[in-house]
Structure 1
Amino acid sequence: MTVAGSPPAPDDVDALVAAWARERPDLDVTPLLVLSRVTRLARRLDRARASAFAGHHLETWEFDVLSALRRAGRPYELSPGQLVAATLVTSGTMTNRIDRLQARDLVRRRPSRSDRRGVIVALTPSGQTAVDGALIDLLEHERVLLAGLNPSDQELLAALLRTLQARLSD
């Protein structure tokens, strides 16, 4: 199958797989055809995302926390534990991140109404402005990155990646 109707040009992954196949003909190196591309695409995507966020004075991790709060819906609040689960970091890392975001007036802490010992993290108006603007720029950057794939190829790729991610999550 070809993407967008034309055969793809060989790339750096094809070259490295060919080199491994030459040097280690005893090994099946075909997983590298997929996963080396995923790794390289992830690095490029990280750079593109960082560029989109930089225009809003946000680091990637800051966007992750702020977007988790924004996606929670009004009143845009979550517990630190919920933020840990949403961003896949440790609780110590999250505490540090909340401290840094609070120092920039992007979030605020308040006592939990349901747990006297608990804390709730809330998105501030400036945090909402920053995350909303960064999301708009992120989506534009990502549309450009996907422009080489037609909509049905994008749907197929999303489905295949979802399947792979589900298997890795188990």
Structure 2
Amino acid sequence: MEDESIFHGSYDASVNKDRVADIVSQWHRERPDLDPTPLLIIGRIQHLAEALDASLRPPFAAAGLGNGEFDMLAALRREGEPYMLTAGQLSERMLVTTGAVTKRVDRLIARGLVSRSVSEVDARGRVVGLTPAGLTLTDQLIEEHLANEAAILRNLTDSDRKALERLLAVLTRHVLS
């Protein structure tokens, strides 16, 4: 039998019962000296991240894009015309190393979705830009991607969404600061 006293605040087992809650209950039973309740948040975020990736990535895979390649196309598209950034700027916007950017650029050049050219500002520098095919594909995929995300969130009320947005922003600032 689950001891709900381990769940601080207004924990409602009938609403919040899932595998993570079961794990927390097991840890509480086996190690009552520890507070396993952080798993109710962190464990769920980790589990959710894996499930979201699995449900959001298939359209990119169907388009022949690996993980991260759509992120690069989207970063270029969000920049606006002329849809160009340096490798360093892409690295910053995608939160990856410049080495990871280079590998993705090479794969996307091979597919004809981006180009690499000499910077007009600095002849020693290079810029990466969307090709017309890259722009078309990105515009198609972002529509499908946002529709998938909206479908995932469809059962949340507007109030729930706003609360979740706020709480995730607070947690993100705290963790990444």
TM-score (norm 1): 0.93
Whether 1:61 and 2:68 are equivalent positions in the alignment is yes
**Alignment equivalent of 1:113, drawn from 88, 108, 120:** 120
Structure 1 residue 148: deviation in Å? Answer: 1.6
CA root-mean-square deviation:
1.6
The amino acid of 2:61's aligned partner reads A
Q: Which moved more, 1:90-99 or 1:7-16?
A: 7-16
Give the number of aligned pairs: 167
1:78·1:121 contact (CA, 8 Å) conserved in 2? yes
Secondary structure at the aligned position of 1:29 is classed as: coil
Whether 1:80 and 2:80 are equivalent positions in the alignment is no
Structure 1 counterpart of 2:145:
138
CA distance in 2 between partners of 1:17 and 1:128 (Å):
46
Structure 2 counterpart of 1:155:
162
CA distance in 1 between partners of 2:106 and 2:65 (Å):
15
The amino acid of 1:138's aligned partner reads H
Percent of residue pairs identical: 44
Whether 1:167 and 2:165 are equivalent positions in the alignment is no
Structure 1 residue 119: deviation in Å? Answer: 0.2
Indicate the structure (1 or 2) with the bigger Cα radius of gyration: 2
CA distance in 1 between partners of 2:100 and 2:61 (Å):
21
CA distance in 1 between partners of 2:141 and 2:132 (Å):
14
